[in-house]
Chain A
Amino acid sequence: MGNLSGNESSIVSVNLPGSRFVFWTNLGRSWYKFSQNRLSVIGLVIVLVVVVSAIFAPWITPYPKEAGPFVNFVDAGLRPSLRHICGTDNMGRDIFTRIIFGFRDALLMAIVVLALAVPVGVVLGLLAGYFQGRWVDTIIMRITDIFLAVPPLILALAVAAVLKPNLMNSMIAVTVMWWPWYTRLLYGTASSLRNDYFVVAAELTGASKVHIIFKEILPNCLSPIFTKIALDVGWVILIEASLSYVGLGQQPPTPALGQMVSDGARYMPTLWWMTIFPALAIVFVLLGFNLMGDGIRDMLETNRG
């Protein structure tokens, strides 16, 4: 019989490097991997600019009041100038300020949608992947297929139109069509990991299914999950813009990027700045998150041996 008794009462004082040291070294190594690609760093900068300006919008924008109910026909339709960097719209509101405030709701929507859709999608995908081939897999994946079969924007429009058009309902609509993508992502990753030897070793030694799914398989899926989250923030913002473009989603007078684009379309080409700058803002945000997403993928690659 093995005689490794665990009954020694001597407290072993081990000089292990502190976890803080390990943490900072890992952070340094992660940053190295991330920053290898200059574009990823640019993306990170863009994202930080957007996020910080959105958080501190009331304090850093030149005309915070104009992001609410405000009308000033005297200053309406002004060209971009030093006073109004992006000009003013047909109601005299500073476009630059409204863009920054528009970021707020866009980011809020992205956070809420992903905070709800990701856990749901990930858990379902893990379950389907672990129980691959059994009825759990079939049920989950067929439901997922149904949701994926409907064009995303149409689904969001339908849900948002049935409910009252406002920010919260559009968030619900987008969440409902967002989780299946994570399920599919995790299904692929989990079902291939499921047969790897380290999972088998855990099963053979008697680990519970919960342990295996969340402690063995999930930690290996973090790279695709977080990469996708980074990219998805950009996509949710785009969807939000699409919804507000057609009048669903955030309602005026609160600014929304898509709505601003749509408003300005009527005044093209004379008041071209009304459309162009909000559109550029959308492009800017998306670009930032896409570039950053590449860096996150590089950073999180688990080295297999």
Chain B
Amino acid sequence: MLFGSEVNTVMSQPGNSEILRAVNLKKYFRIGKDKKGPIFVRAVDGVNFSIKYGETLGLVGESGSGKSTIAYDVVGMYRPTSGQLLFKDQNIAIQAVKRPLSQKKEIQIVFQDPSSSLNPAQTIEQILSLPLKLHTRIPKRQFRERMVELLERVELPAEYLYKVPSSIGGGEKQMVAIARALASNPSLIVLDEPTSALDVSIQAKVINKLVDLQKELNLTYLFITHDLSLMRNVASRIAIMYLGKICEVADTASFFEKPLHPYTQMLISAVPVISEEEEKLKPKKIVSIGEIGSPVNPPPGCSFHPRCPCKMPICSEVDPEMIEVSPEHTVRCHLFSRPEGTGSKGVQIEEKQPCV
């Protein structure tokens, strides 16, 4: 079996600058009210992140973490409640319908379930013709040529143009969704759990194709998933989310070598692995307890404290800040703190006795 190449480091683009940046991004959904006032689902509750050109940021979390909401904010399905969202230094904190066509062309999304993201009553040809019509200047009579080329890029035969989604397999449908995303020549693709619904051997094909395409076409990926083993092999940086907030961000290698946040450790130890060597890489088994909290009424203080095996009194009172522990590795947890009286640069991180 041939192996796909190792995860690449950040490609150099215009000065290694950022293609996407979120500052204190919030998205609340109002779901009614009670005596105290309106009730909100705090799907995204003050999130800061950035993605550099050509890299893959893995956004990992379970249900209620807000990862999909962030994806939908970026792509324009939702309008953020507050905060900044910048794409190539332009503001995109607005809904897609109000964005200029050029921005819609640049940011594309691949959804999780290809059965519902492809119109079941259309042929592949019709599905692919929409982005070609809107975003390219190709004349209609050359559409078919271009579509065949797109299908070739995702290794699908040309006859598929006549097929309807229900007559092709899940992995192939997802390839069509990827081809559709590529049709407009985007620079950023948001991948919302693109392979969660697929079997492992098909997932391997799709992921390899995505990695190859990224290199060929200089794409940047925002990869939403719950699968940590996958991110280990695909992402350049990983951010873990819980109940609307980011718990830890690090480049992939540091993330797995030294996971800091207890939730990160819990997630990693829950991953089913297939070899002894991988078992040894897992942090000591943290038994996951309790149900995932609800983003409607997040617990006070650190939202993870009810499930945390390392809980301290301060955790139920004060929400921790994001602290940089080493370059490119930040964590939000009271186990790590800045000693009093130092500025934000050159901090000495004092780690309280690790509980696991």
Are A and B close enough to touch in the complex, i.e. CB under 8 Å?
yes
Q: Which A residues form the contact surface with B (CB < 8 A)?
A: 1-4, 6, 8, 11-12, 14-17, 19, 22, 196-207, 211, 215-216, 219-220, 222, 302-305
Contact (Cβ within 8 A) A4 B117 = no
B113-148 to A contact mask, C-beta < 8 Å, 1/0: 111111111100010001100111110001011101
Alpha-carbon distance between A222 and B126 when the two chains are bound, in angstroms? 17
Q: Give 9 closest A-B pairs by Cβ, nearest first.
A: A305-B115, A2-B185, A219-B121, A303-B166, A197-B117, A198-B119, A6-B138, A206-B104, A197-B116
| CB-CB nearest in chain A for B108 | A205
Q: Give, as a whole number of angstroms, the nearest-CB distance from B302 to chain A.
A: 34
Contact (Cβ within 8 A) A304 B161 = no
How many A-B contacts if CB must be within 8 Å? Answer: 115
Alpha-carbon distance between A59 and B153 when the two chains are bound, in angstroms? 62
Q: Give, as a whole number of angstroms, the nearest-CB distance from A214 to chain B.
A: 12
Interface size (B, Cβ < 8 Å)? 55
Given contacts A12-B148, A305-B165, contact A1 B134 (CB under 8 A): no
Contact (Cβ within 8 A) A207 B121 = no
Contact (Cβ within 8 A) A204 B121 = no
Residues of B within 8 A of A302 (CB): 120-121, 166
Known pairs A4-B182, A205-B108 / 18 extra A-B pairs, C-beta < 8 Å: A1-B185, A1-B218, A2-B185, A4-B153, A14-B144, A14-B158, A17-B159, A201-B117, A202-B119, A203-B97, A204-B76, A204-B109, A205-B131, A206-B135, A216-B119, A219-B119, A220-B119, A303-B120
* Residue B162 at the chain A interface, CB threshold 8 Å: yes
Partner of A4, one of B101, B118, B150: B150
Contact (Cβ within 8 A) A8 B145 = yes
Contact (Cβ within 8 A) B117 A198 = yes
B161-196 to A contact mask, C-beta < 8 Å, 1/0: 110011000000100000010111111000000000
Contact (Cβ within 8 A) B184 A205 = yes
Residues of B within 8 A of A19 (CB): 162
Contact (Cβ within 8 A) A204 B96 = yes
Partner of A16, one of B97, B114, B142, B158: B158
B73-108 to A contact mask, C-beta < 8 Å, 1/0: 001110000000000000000001100010011001
Alpha-carbon distance between A219 and B127 when the two chains are bound, in angstroms? 13
Contact (Cβ within 8 A) A2 B187 = yes
Contact (Cβ within 8 A) A2 B186 = yes
Given contacts A198-B116, A303-B166, contact A4 B135 (CB under 8 A): no
* Residue B111 at the chain A interface, CB threshold 8 Å: yes
Q: Give, as a whole number of angstroms, the nearest-CB distance from A197 to chain B.
A: 4
Contact (Cβ within 8 A) B109 A201 = yes
Given contacts A2-B182, A2-B219, A304-B166, contact A220 B159 (CB under 8 A): no
Contact (Cβ within 8 A) B122 A4 = no
Q: List 29 A-B contacts (CB under 8 A).
A: A1-B185, A2-B182, A2-B219, A3-B216, A3-B218, A4-B149, A8-B149, A14-B148, A17-B159, A17-B162, A196-B116, A198-B117, A198-B118, A199-B119, A201-B117, A203-B97, A204-B76, A204-B77, A204-B96, A205-B108, A206-B104, A206-B105, A206-B134, A211-B130, A215-B122, A216-B119, A219-B122, A302-B120, A302-B121
Q: Give, as a whole number of angstroms, the nearest-CB distance from B122 to chain A.
A: 7
Contact (Cβ within 8 A) B184 A1 = no
Contact (Cβ within 8 A) B182 A202 = no
* Residue B273 at the chain A interface, CB threshold 8 Å: no
Contact (Cβ within 8 A) A12 B145 = yes
Residues of B within 8 A of A197 (CB): 111, 113, 116-117
Q: Pick from A3, A14, A19, A222 the residue with the most CB of B within 10 Å.
A: A14
| CB-CB nearest in chain A for B216 | A3
* Residue B217 at the chain A interface, CB threshold 8 Å: yes
| CB-CB nearest in chain A for B160 | A16
Alpha-carbon distance between A11 and B113 when the two chains are bound, in angstroms? 35
Residues of B within 8 A of A196 (CB): 116
Given contacts A4-B185, A203-B97, contact A22 B162 (CB under 8 A): yes
Q: Give, as a whole number of angstroms, the nearest-CB distance from A10 to chain B.
A: 8
Residues of B within 8 A of A206 (CB): 96, 101, 104-105, 134-135
Alpha-carbon distance between A12 and B180 when the two chains are bound, in angstroms? 20
| CB-CB nearest in chain B for A18 | B162
Contact (Cβ within 8 A) B120 A16 = no
Alpha-carbon distance between A22 and B124 when the two chains are bound, in angstroms? 14
Q: Give, as a whole number of angstroms, the nearest-CB distance from A248 to chain B.
A: 41
